[in-house]
Structure formats: C-alpha cells, structure tokens
Structure 1
Amino acid sequence: MTKKKLGILGGMGPKATSVFFEKIISNTVAHKDQDHLDMVILNHASLPDRTVSILENKKQEFLDAVRQDFMLFDQSGVSNIAIPCNTSHYLIEEMQSMTDINIINMVQGTVEYIRDKFGEHRKVAILATDGTIQSGVYENECKKHGIEPFVPNKELQQKVMQTIYKIKSDVDFKASEFESIINEVITKENCTDVILGCTELSCIDISEELKSYCVDPMDILVRLSITLSGKTTI
C-alpha cells in the first residue's frame, strides 16, 4: 500500500491528542524516522465544547469552526483524517460533507471491532460525555450490529463526567475512582464489555484486570490510522 499522509484534528482535548500521537508512534512498525507516518496535526483547542454543542443545539458553531481545518488538510495533501474525540463523531456526516478527504469513523470501527472479536449479543457499557450519551451515537451503532448498549444512570453518569473534566482541567484524581465505575457496570449491570467512549478516559492507567473488559476507541482509531496510511501496526 502506498504511504499516505494522515491529518489529525485535535485539541479536543490537547492531552488526549498528545496521547493519540504517542500511540501512533509506539504502534507503528518502524526502524528509522522515515518508517513513521507523515502527519499534519491541528491542535484546535479553541473549538467549541462538543457536549455543549449537542445539549444546547449549537452544532453549527462547531461545524463553522472546523471548516477551515478541513481546507488546511486539503492544502496539505492529507489522505485520511483522524479525530480523537468521540463526542464530535455525532457530527461526522456533516463534517464528511465538508471535505472529500476520508474521515475515519472511530465509533463505527469500535463497535465493529467488538462484534468481530466477541460476536453479537454482548451487553456493552458506554462510558462517555453527556454529549455522546445524549446523541446516541454509540447506542445506535451498537443496535445496528446486534449489540445491547448500556447507558449509566444519572448518578453514575455524573461520576463519569466529573472524571472527564478533571482530566481536562488537569486536576489530580485517583484511577481507583474511575475503576469503581467500571467495576460497577461489570458486577451490578452484568456488562460484558466497556467502551471508554471519551479520549480523556484513554489517559487513565487502569488495572490490567479491569482493562481486559475495556475497549478503547482511541486504540481502534490508532490502528485504523496506521493501516489506512499504508503502514503496519505492532
């Protein structure tokens, strides 16, 4: 496969974008600099909050803000665009209509990974922002593939959001706080799998035992980005 340049629309948030970039590097088979992907990273941190855009019906503000980004990617000769932000995928069809460059669908890729690896008839917990939950983007994709989605109750969802925004604001917190959420959906709700549906959650170092239940969309996006760019994953 011909080597292709990857565009990364980041800044949602910056820490998650940094983790995504590092994962691309560490998961690419490479023996020298020239073996790695050529990437154009736009850390557009000033983009409107995605959850606010959804909950307050202000999606046009977000779409107007990213329009220039797609023009820059086009000018840079990018072949595929990765967006390491789950919530923004609610608007993937509108974003795709703005550009002829393929936008890698992290949500679709994640659910297809679960179906292909574990089969149908799974009960999958979706841990994500209020915006992602409200949009139903993961729920709809799960149902499309014969997978039962589980959405946290109000109290549990509040804990998830507190975790996400603590990471965004660089506030210290214990990984055990988030691990208790994972443990609850597994033991009390009988979920077979857990989708870490916000890239901030990818920044948490959870135990290996609980990690075995988790599917990280960022990892899925990393692998799709590498292979679509003509490289091999480790």
Structure 2
Amino acid sequence: MSLILGVLGGMGPAATLDFLGKLQAYTPAQRDQDHIRVLMDLNPQVPDRNAPSPGAGAGAGDVLAEMAGGLAGGGAEVLAMPCNTAHAHADLIVRASGLPLIDMIGGAAKAAADTGAHRVGVLGTKGALKLYREYLAARGLGLVTLGGERQEAFMALLYRIKGGDLSSRARSEMAGMAGELVAAGAEALIAGCTEAPLVLSSDDVQVPFLDAGDLLARRCVDICLEFEPPPPI
C-alpha cells in the first residue's frame, strides 16, 4: 500500500498534466495496482498568483486552503502542489488540511546545492523568486535573476505558454533567457515556474538544469511509496 497523494493543481492546467505524467513515469510499476493513488483538484479558477495590482491575488490562499481541506476530506494523506509561486501559501494549506505538503521550493534549492553551485539562476515569477532567494540564502547560495525589463518579458512569455504557445519561437526565447542567467554567473539553473519546462530542457542549458516540477514528482514517488518519510506538519 502507498500513501494517497492529494494534488492541488490547475496553476496552470498544462503544467499540472506534465507533473502527473512525470509522477506516473517515475513510479516503479508492473501493473495498474502498483501506481500511486492520486486525488486531484485541478482548479484553473484559483486567483492569479502573479497579479500586479496591490492586493490582487490575495484570494488565492483562501481557495488553496479550501482545495487542501477537500483533498484531506477525500482521503489524501500527503499533499503536493506543482506551482512554485503558490508555495507562498504553504503554511495556510498545511493548517487548513492538517496534512504535510511536499516542499517544491525546498527540494529544488537542495538539488541546486547538491550540484556544488554557488550562484543559482532561477526562471520564475517575482513571487517565486522571493521564495527561492530565501531558500537559497539559507544554504549559502546566491540567486541570479533576469533584470527588470527581461523579467517582464519572461512574464509575457509565461502567459503565452499558459495560452498554449509551445512554438519554436517560445522555446528559443526561453532558452535565450536561460542563457542570460548563465552569462550573468549562474552555475546551475532552476526552472522555477512549472510552465518553463514545457519549452525548456537540459539540452538548452550549459549548466546543471533543475526542473522543480520534475524533482517534486520524484519526491512524491519516494514519499508515497514510503522510501522516505513525509515532511513534518
């Protein structure tokens, strides 16, 4: 028997489906019954975590807390959320559900430290970058980010990807931004937005490439199959 995984998804839907595909691929299974049971709330109606106006997006925490409580009520025993920015509401999610949440940001920061890098580039929203700055600093690592206008260009590209643009142009633009971080001194690169790996892979990056969603999927498998204990509440 494995632990039942509850997934807070829909931020965005394509990234969530990509995460579920990785979860399935990494599960050592010979038959249907060997796979992890997953309870999913794929809710694209969660308020925009990246809304620029003051106070906008503040309702995201309340919606995520409600989703987490629903998953707990449905039988989930541990939670995962394939959205970096939404981890700003991690404490609220844990309090509302009474369940452990597998930390996506912490897992990626640890993986970055394990590469031996001292400066880590992150492609992510402003909210996600704030979280990564804190987690990386706790490990003695520096954060490398895009400049103001280039960060805005990243956000524009992010919303295009959310709208279904997986074109060669989108791939080229994302690879270019990754290259800018490496040129600025990044010794490892974290895809700190779950849309980024939809158009970016390790083949596009000349330093160790860490997909936070991929790392989360791997850790979900290890925890749900009880190869490692769930995180504390």
- TM-score, structure 1 as length reference: 0.89
Distance of 2:166 and 2:22 partners within structure 1: 23
Q: Which runs of 5+ in 2 are unaligned?
A: 228-233
For 1:186 and 1:68, the matched residues in 2 are separated by 40
Which amino acid letter does the alignment assign opposite residue 82 of structure 1?
A
**Which one of 105, 120, 125 corresponds to residue 121 of structure 2?**
125
Choose from 199, 206, 216 the match for 1:204.
199
Does the Cα contact within 8 Å between 1:142 and 1:148 map onto a contact in 2?
A: yes
How much does 1:192 deviate?
Answer: 0.3
Residues 53-64 of structure 1: pairs in structure 2 closer than 5 A: 56-58=54-56, 60-64=58-62
Tell me which residue corresponds to 1:16. 15
Q: 1:28, 1:69 → 2: CA distance? A: 25
Whether 1:27 aligns to 2:26 is yes
Q: 3-state SS of the aligned residue for 1:47?
A: coil
Match of 2:225 in 1: 230
Is the 1:129–1:161 Cα contact (8 Å) retained in structure 2?
yes
Deviation at 1:162, TM superposition (A): 1.9
How many correspondences in the alignment? 226
Q: Distance in 1 between matches of 2:84 and 2:2?
A: 26
Residue of structure 2 in register with 1:6 after alignment = 5
Aligned position for 1:156: 150
Change (3 A) 1:10 1:83: same
Instruction: Give the percent of matched residue pairs that are identical in Structure 1 and Structure 2.
Output: 26
Of the three residues 180, 183, 190, the one matched with 1:184 is 180
Q: Which amino acid aligns with 1:42?
A: D
Deviation at 1:70, TM superposition (A): 1.8
Aligned twin of 2:216: 221
Distance 1:182 1:205 in 2: 9
Q: Please list the CA deviations of residues 158-213 of structure 1 after superposition, one character each: whole Å capped at 9, or x if unmatched.
A: 221122111111135321111111112112x1210111110001211436251753
Counterpart of 1:109 in structure 2 is 107
Q: Structure 1's 209 and 12: CA in aligned 2 closer, same or farther, altered over 3 A? A: closer
Return 168-177 or 78-87, whichever deviates more: 168-177
Residue 44 of structure 2: aligned partner: 45
Please state whether the residue corresponding to 1:50 is helix, strand or coil: coil
8 Å CA contact 1:29–1:231 kept in 2: the answer is no
**Equivalent residue in structure 2 for 1:138, among 132, 142, 146:** 132
Q: Distance in 1 between matches of 2:206 and 2:9?
A: 25
| Residue identity matched to 1:138 | Y
Q: Secondary structure at the match of 2:40?
A: strand
Alignment check: 8 A CA contact 2:202 2:208 kept: no
Q: Aligned Cα RMSD in Å?
A: 2.0
For residues 136 and 200 of structure 2, what CA distance do their matches in structure 1 show? 26
Higher relative contact order (CA 8 A, sep 6+): 1
Once the two structures are superposed, residues 105-127 of structure 1 have per-residue CA deviations (whole angstroms, 9 ceiling, x without a partner) of 10011111222x223x6111111
How far did 1:73 drift?
A: 1.1
Question: Could you list the runs of 5+ residues in structure 1 that have no partner in the other structure?
Answer: none
Matched, 1:194 2:153: no
- What is the CA deviation profile of residues 63-121 of structure 1, one whole-angstrom value per residue up to 9, with x for unaligned ones? 22123212221122111111000000112122222121111110011111222x223x6
- Report the TM-score when normalising by structure 2: 0.90
* CA distance in 2 between partners of 1:111 and 1:148 (Å): 11
Q: 1:183, 1:110 → 2: CA distance?
A: 19
Q: 1:124-160 CA distances to partner (integer Å, 9 max, x unpaired)?
A: 1111013323xx1100110000111112111221221
CA distance in 1, matches of 2:22, 2:45: 23
Paired letter, 1:215: L
